[in-house]
Structure 1
Amino acid sequence: MTEIAIIVGSTRPGRYSDAVSQWVLDRAKERTDATFELIDLADHPLPHLDEPVPASGGAYTHDHTKAWSRVIGRFDGYVFVTPEYNHSTTGVLKNAIDYLYAEWNDKAAGFVSYGVAGGTRAVEHLRLVAAELRLATVRSAVALSFHHDFEEYVTLTPEPRQEAALTDLFDDVVAWSGALAPLRATRAA
């Protein structure tokens, strides 16, 4: 069965990503075509990138990097949940991504973002990073706006169209993860 990680891309106190990630996970659990697991960066504290060799070299020296590699490497695809900070993603998410290379290769990724402008600029940056990692991003995305999808800018209340967008995102991530499986198998051999 295809395994998809839902990665919580914020560790900020009082973060909105708890509610957003739980909404994503609750919808994911309704599916039977893949298994989904929440990976919260708060549970995987990584110092600012401290590996002496670039991740593409695959020569990890620190235990925290090796542990992170084991967590991320076992999934077939990812759904990143990210807020938008200063027209980009969070530093903690970018740092966690930068620690690894081969673990991201030939897998699929989708994005659920949120912010005043729906978090779309964070996703634009993540798509560029993903391309360098040979991580195939799907077109479908969910962009939650504080103006329309949060009651009084606090409580997550996604508009009905967001439910449909999330279904499309799941469909695409699961399909692309499966389509890329032979490529991952060839590289592993």
Structure 2
Amino acid sequence: MKHQLNVIIGSTRPGRAGPVFAKWLESFAREHGKFEPVLTDIAAFNLPVLDEPHHPRLGKYENSHTKAWSKAIDAADAFVFVAPEYNYFAAPAIVNAVDYLLREWRYKPAAGVSGGLRAAQAVKPLLTAVGVMPIPEGVALPMYQKLLDETGAFLPSEQVLGGARTMLDELFRWSEALKPMRVG
């Protein structure tokens, strides 16, 4: 059985570019063959700033948006965050979405596809705090606009393709290694 890879679109901003790259990565991961990729758009869950009355460690979720988010994250074996960089930091939607849960994140590896390397680095301590293993491999897309054609389609370079392949290979290795810790 293939591992589930949640490709998380980390921006909720109108006019965001993340869905273009997330859809490409979903297709690329499917062709790669080691994962069953699932597009997971934070915007679709309509998560307000953390509004659960109980600490996430208790898993006593009261809101339907939290229950749906919990189910989506719990089903995954690994994550790729398609993350923008806002003010040299991770998008607030990512920080908020991670903070909503605890148990669901544990013992799963994560990587990033990001237009900003500072954002990718900034989210790693947050992921570590909830039990995610952030791996060093990722795909940098600086000046991402230059990688889009006139219709807005993503045209990955050989460097991007090689980086994505390496990232997925390493995510799979980590997902396999952590699998015994996720069971039970």
Using structure 1 for the length normalisation, give the TM-score. Answer: 0.89
Q: Which has the higher helix share?
A: 2
Q: Distance in 2 between matches of 1:181 and 1:152?
A: 39
Q: Which segments of 5 or more consecutive residues in structure 2 lack a partner in the other structure?
A: none
Matches within 5 A, 1:89-108: 89-108=90-109
Call closer, same or farther: CA 1:67–1:43 in 2, change over 3 Å.
same
Q: How many residues align?
A: 182
TM-superposed CA distance for 1:56, in Å, is 2.0
Match of 2:8 in 1: 7
- 8 A Cα contact 1:7 1:39, kept in partner: yes
Q: Residues 140 and 52 (structure 1 numbering): CA distance in 2 closer, same or farther, change over 3 Å?
A: same
Q: Distance in 2 between matches of 1:60 and 1:13?
A: 28
CA distance in 2, matches of 1:82, 1:140: 14
> Contact between 2:32 and 2:165, CA under 8 Å: does it hold in 1?
no
Whether 1:166 and 2:164 are equivalent positions in the alignment is: yes
CA distance in 1, matches of 2:125, 2:170: 19
**Structure with the higher strand share, 1 or 2:** 1
Q: What is the aligned partner in structure 2 of residue 178 from structure 1?
A: 176
Judge conservation of contact 2:82–2:112 (CA < 8 Å) in 1. Answer: yes
**Separation in structure 1 between the aligned mates of residue 13 and residue 106 of structure 2, nearest angstrom:** 28
Change (3 A) 1:73 1:156: same
Structure 1 residues without counterparts, runs of 5 or longer: none
Q: Deviations over 1:52-98 (max 9, x none)?
A: 22212322222221121111101111011000000111111211111
> Is 1:150 aligned to residue 147 of structure 2?
yes
Measured on the aligned residues, the alpha-carbon RMSD in Å equals: 1.8
Q: How does 1:38-57 map to 2 (within 5 A)?
A: 38-57=39-58
